[in-house]
Amino acid sequence: MTDKRFAIVGAGALGCYFAALMTKAGHHVALIARGRHLEAIQREGIHLEDLGESYRLSPARVTDRPADVGPVDAVVLAVKAWQVPEAADQLRPLVTSGTRVLPLQNGIETWDELAKVLGDEPPLMGLCRVVCALTSPGHVRHVAAEPTIAMGERNGAGLSGNAAALAAALKASGVRVDNPESMRAALWEKLAFIAGVSGAGAVARANVGEMRTCPPTRDLLLRILEEVAGVARASGVPLAGDSVGRAMAFVDSMAPASTASMQRDISEGRPSELEAIIGIVVRLGRESGFATPATSFVYASLLPQELRARALA
């Protein structure tokens, strides 16, 4: 435990999960929440079910007003990708000289969106790997995968200052923290995986076990992975040659009942990260001249429902 002060913005599954872990480890954490999530956590704390263990944990501060928290040493941004532009403005009261902001969104555009509002210095590049879901406001269930965060500077420099302090706090909370040589490559590898699982799963309305054992659906997943990797390389990102094989191996190791958050949002009629996960691949494929027929099929199939959900939100 240190005297550093942290804030987590967003009380969905990831925000509640990491807020609970860091609180359990004794760190000073403020959670920025809203609506039913705010009310539930203020009243009863976060209910964390962590691989069979159950905890009730109350962060140091739970509020919908970042100004009431004031400047902190580091911020974990855990909102959905499509909420980042709005959330960036809300971060201002939390950020002062030396504050670092770690975004954990799916996709590859968050750093640029944050830098437009906060400048180049605060945002790190980041991603996380964990399977958890919010079962009700303030109630998060961790069901699979070692919690892992990859974080780094845009220029590839090592972690220092408050970025290093955040990494140390996460490690002390039981999170594996990696500092890849190329965060751009790491983000694209994560994008390929999540696009394949989310896209094929949403179109087929199937969990991972059903997808990987149904040959046509497994082929669709594989083709999405290959297309995302191809767009990355056509865009100048040096993905490793075995990235697709490793992604498929991970799919084969996942719990059969697993589903992706984008898939769950779509199936439940909520706005999703379709644009950040699937639409971006189609757009950049068009710009780079790399064909994306499988990903384009998934995008065309899911976009009408996405537009409907956003109109009703």
pLDDT at 1 over 80: no
The pLDDT value given to residue 145: 77
Q: Averaged over 113-138, what is the pLDDT?
A: 93
Pick the closest to residue 102 from 21, 169, 27, 195 (CA basis): 169
The pLDDT value given to residue 132: 87
Pick the closest to residue 173 from 28, 69, 32 (CA basis): 28
The pLDDT value given to residue 82: 92
Pick the closest to residue 149 from 135, 133, 163 (CA basis): 163
Is domain 5-181 given the CATH code 3.40.50.620 in the classification? no
Mean pLDDT score across all residues of the chain: 95
Start-to-end CA span in the chain (Å):
40
184-312: CATH homologous superfamily? N-(1-d-carboxylethyl)-l-norvaline Dehydrogenase; domain 2 (1.10.1040.10)
The pLDDT value given to residue 144: 76
Token code pair at residue 21: 């872990």
pLDDT grade for 238, boundaries at 50, 70 and 90:
confident
pLDDT digits (tens, 9 = 90+) for 66-114: 999 999 999 999 999 999 999 999 999 999 999 999 999 999 999 999 9
Annotated domain spans of the chain: 5-181, 184-312
Q: Averaged over 285-289, what is the pLDDT?
A: 97
Residues 6+ apart with CB under 8 A from 52: none
Q: Averaged over 182-210, what is the pLDDT?
A: 97
pLDDT at 151 over 70: yes
pTM over 0.75: yes
Q: Averaged over 211-239, what is the pLDDT?
A: 97
Residues 6+ apart with CB under 8 A from 309: 265, 266, 269, 270, 271, 272
pLDDT at 133 over 90: no
Q: How many CB atoms lie within 10 A of CB 170?
A: 26
